[in-house]
Structure 1
Amino acid sequence: MTPRQFPLAIHYVRQIAEQIADCGGDVAQWLALSGLTRAQIADPAFELSFERFRQLVRDGLDTTREPALGLLVGDRLTASAHGMLGYAAMNSGTLRQAIDLVQRYLPVRTSLVTVRLAASGRSMRVLFEEVEPLGELRVVVLEAVILTIKNMIETVCLGTSPVEGIAFPFPAPAHADLARALFKADLAYGTSWAGFAIPLDLIDTPLRMADPAAFEDARQICQRELDKLTRQMSLAARLRRLLLDRQGGYPTLTVVARLFNMTPRTLHRRLVAEGTSFREVLDDVRHTLAMEHLKSSHLSIDEIAYTLGYGELANFRRAFKRWEGLAPSDFRRQARRD
């Protein structure tokens, strides 16, 4: 497989580097473990693969021996650290406009998570959802992203916090007390969602920093960047994202071709030109999700097979043995021992 396309503002990697230095780590040595240099991460045009980013985070945790690395990085990311997205947010007319902006244009800064809004009683939940399973990066990434966006919202509100509470879909970590101190809000762990809630009666309140002209100028720049990113994304990457979004009800090649406004033959030919095929991308998505479900979910193996679109459990077992060389049940037992 070729390295997975992974839009991520390199500025965030520099922030991780600065935090590692603050923790007493050797940044040059940390970068060298992933085959990188300071000059590369200083280049605004430098692009990381997801695999290399994963290695950087792993090595960062090992180098600093700081399990709260994500929190510390998230806390240092001010609204201005998010470039034009942060500038547009600071000029928003209402909280709803600011959050809608983040929801639409966060992919310009990172493709690790997406943002979705959902009404819940008298609150609006701001949900952060993994584009694909983050695995061992989950705690680090969700803590960093949710904290920095929560801090951005407070900046938009001139320091006052409209956030009612923070939710994380993993058990309370050893550094939960530090998390509470940095979030300055009630935290709930082991929830079914990740994000925070804002009272509905505040969501459309006019903001004092609003500047409609500056907001629109910044929004248009964000839109141009999003359009450019979409054009540059390979067809295989677009297909992968679509399949991850539709997990459990995977569309056929014919349906995907229609969604991408091309014929099935053209879709097949372009995927072959990129060195892959519809079947290979779907197989890789199922492989990724199967391992994550077996490691972290409480679904039975039958339920996982159904979720991944296998009509017969035996077909899932054969596929998994091809991927990992052992049965799903053996993989789950081994993962739980580790």
Structure 2
Amino acid sequence: MRASVSTAQDLGMPAIYLHLLAELLNTIGVDEQDLLLRVGLDPARLKSTELRVSQTQASEFVTRAIIESGEPGLGIMLARKLKLPLHGALGTAVMSSRTLGDAMELMTRYLTLRVPHLQISKRENANLVWYIVTCDIDLGPLHGFIMDAMLFGCVSMGAQLTGSVVDGLRILRRCPEPAYFQRFRSQIPVPVEFGATDNALVIPVSRLSLPVRFTDDQLAASSRAQCEEALRQLTEDAGFACRVRRVIETSHPFPPKLARVAGTLFISERTLKRRLQEEEASFQQLVDQVRLERAGDLLRNTTMNLSQIADALGYADAANFTRAFKRWTNTSPSHYRNASRTPGSVPAPTDRILTAG
């Protein structure tokens, strides 16, 4: 039996995808800001290309988006917005590949970085190659949305890479044809076969040698190395503390209460504390780590005054924030800001808590 979204290992979902979905909802008349806040997500944090949202929150947001928009075809609509640069290091690696076949090999190896729990396997004969997409958990009602976004997004990706829709490309779907598909059929430039044995992209072997328009061997090598490192780190970050941290990082209001995080992860407060303790972590330590990173970013990259930063980080006033920042970094927020803006000066570190608060 496959695990469900709520019980499977949580590798997180790239926040930028939820940001794109929120923008899409806005265009069809849904109050996306209200919806995000009700799920406990901070809309501003979703614009990051680095952060990952916990899968439980991502699943709740997508499910509510489909229900409240009354649009079951949101996955197809989202696929059209998925431009390659939004896919992080994987998008860069794919764009700088030499051929379409090379790009598909990268997708096969590193898909987990962008869509956790989906895998691509390859089967071929003399004329055709099947890239078969499977899932190792039970996505429930999200399955159709995820497969729509993934498969139809690959059609768009192929066109971005080669300059036109890949000739001979077709999509296979295991499910019966959903009623909503008729409204989108004219917008999809490739044949789609429902009721198939697999969910798959089928590409003529001859088309895999198509050159990619943005080929850059040096960039391809460096971005592939980034993908390898990201995959290693994602695997290492699969512990419980990382799951808790992902919820904290994107939560609204910030910082979240322990009870809210425990509820998001479908566990009791006592269990959350115990499991963190097993990994030699604490909830407050994780909150402080996120606060420190946010503080460094706000001090470096905004003109917000200390009172505004304190408020954004959940402190009662600037004095409390300043004391905490000094405790963490052995320097004041003002000194850190000045140092970060002085050429040749190295600001105090904001990648770790110097003293657990």
State TM-score, norm by structure 1: 0.65
| Partner of residue 187 from structure 1, selected from 186, 192, 195 | 192
Report how far residue 2 of structure 1 moved.
7.4
Q: Distance in 2 between matches of 1:226 and 1:201?
A: 30
| Partner of residue 181 from structure 2, selected from 151, 176, 191 | 176
1:98 match: 103
Is 2:51 aligned against 1:85?
no
| Partner of residue 35 from structure 1, selected from 26, 37, 40 | 40
In the superposition, relative to structure 1, how do residues 226 and 121 fare at CA in structure 2: closer, same or farther (>3 Å)?
A: same
2:337 match: none
SS at match of 1:171: coil
Q: Distance in 1 between matches of 2:101 and 2:33?
A: 42
1:24 match: 29
Report how far residue 208 of structure 1 moved.
4.7
Q: Distance in 2 between matches of 1:212 and 1:44?
A: 24
Report how far residue 40 of structure 1 moved.
3.7
In the superposition, relative to structure 1, how do residues 229 and 174 fare at CA in structure 2: closer, same or farther (>3 Å)?
A: same
Is 2:17 aligned against 1:12?
yes
After TM superposition, the structure 1 stretch with the greater mean CA deviation from structure 2, 55-64 or 177-186, is 177-186
> Structure 1: which 5+ residue stretches go unaligned?
238-269, 275-338
In the superposition, relative to structure 1, how do residues 36 and 235 fare at CA in structure 2: closer, same or farther (>3 Å)?
A: closer
Q: How does 1:104-183 map to 2 (within 5 A)?
A: 104-120=109-125, 122-183=127-188
Aligned residue-pair number: 243
SS at match of 1:33: helix
In the superposition, relative to structure 1, how do residues 141 and 208 fare at CA in structure 2: closer, same or farther (>3 Å)?
A: closer
Report how far residue 121 of structure 1 moved.
5.1
Report how far residue 11 of structure 1 moved.
0.4
In the superposition, relative to structure 1, how do residues 72 and 112 fare at CA in structure 2: closer, same or farther (>3 Å)?
A: farther
Percent identical across equivalent pairs?
A: 23
* 8 Å Cα contact 1:10-1:47 kept in structure 2: yes
Report how far residue 197 of structure 1 moved.
0.7
State TM-score, norm by structure 2: 0.62
After TM superposition, the structure 1 stretch with the greater mean CA deviation from structure 2, 107-116 or 60-69, is 107-116
SS at match of 1:175: helix
* Structure with more of its chain in helix, by fraction: 1
> Structure 2: which 5+ residue stretches go unaligned?
1-5, 243-274, 280-357
Q: How does 1:1-338 map to 2 (within 5 A)?
A: 4-44=9-49, 46-120=51-125, 122-234=127-239, 273=278
Q: Tell me which structure has the larger Cα radius of gyration.
A: 2
Cα deviation code 1:233-261 (max 9, x no counterpart): 23999xxxxxxxxxxxxxxxxxxxxxxxx
* 8 Å Cα contact 2:174-2:198 kept in structure 1: yes
Q: Distance in 2 between matches of 1:131 and 1:153?
A: 25
SS at match of 2:80: helix
* 8 Å Cα contact 1:10-1:44 kept in structure 2: yes
* Aligned-pair Cα RMSD in Å: 2.8
* 8 Å Cα contact 1:111-1:131 kept in structure 2: no
Cα deviation code 1:275-316 (max 9, x no counterpart): xxxxxxxxxxxxxxxxxxxxxxxxxxxxxxxxxxxxxxxxxx
In the superposition, relative to structure 1, how do residues 43 and 95 fare at CA in structure 2: closer, same or farther (>3 Å)?
A: closer
